[in-house]
Structure 1
Amino acid sequence: MSDSFYRFLMTQRNPNDHGEVATFAQNAFLDHSFPKQSTDYHELADYLELNGSYLPNMDVFDEAFRLYQEQGTGESQF
């Protein structure tokens, strides 16, 4: 079983990094409703489009999901 996107995203948290992915990770950590077990791009994107007011735009999620896939833990977008 592969790690969830959330678990990957938590590896990107860094209080000294003010980049978009690190900021997204910190905000997702504070979002108690975030789908923590999901590995599915579409499920996560749908959630963030409705509830991710902390994201400046969905490009940040796309970049984080690309990194997740590159690490070999994520499912394909399609």
Structure 2
Amino acid sequence: MTEPFYRFLMTLRNPNDHGELATFAQNAFLDQAFPKQETDFDTLSNYLELNGNYLPSMDVFDAAYQLYRERRS
């Protein structure tokens, strides 16, 4: 079974880091409706487009998902 994206994202969470990826991870942690078991790019992307008002740009998600894919392989 593949590790969910959320679990990977939580490895980027760091309250002392104010970079885009760490901030995304912190905000996803606070988002109680975030799809925590999801691995699919399109499902996650659709969710964030509709509910991810904490993302300054979907490019942040794209970068995080690319890292996720690299670590899975």
Structure having greater relative contact order (Cα 8 Å, sep ≥ 6) = 1
The within-5 A match list for 1:1-78 is 1-72=1-72
Corresponding letter in the other structure for 2:12: Q
1:76 counterpart residue number = none
SS of the equivalent of 1:26 reads helix
What CA RMSD, in Å, does the superposition of the two structures yield over aligned residues?
0.8
What percent of counterpart residues are identical? 70
Structure 1 residue ranges, 4+ long, deviating more than 4 angstroms after superposition: none
Instruction: Give TM-score scaled by structure 1 length.
Output: 0.91
Unaligned runs of 5+ in 1: 74-78
Per-residue deviation, 1:22:
0.3
Per-residue deviation, 1:16:
1.2
Unaligned runs of 5+ in 2: none
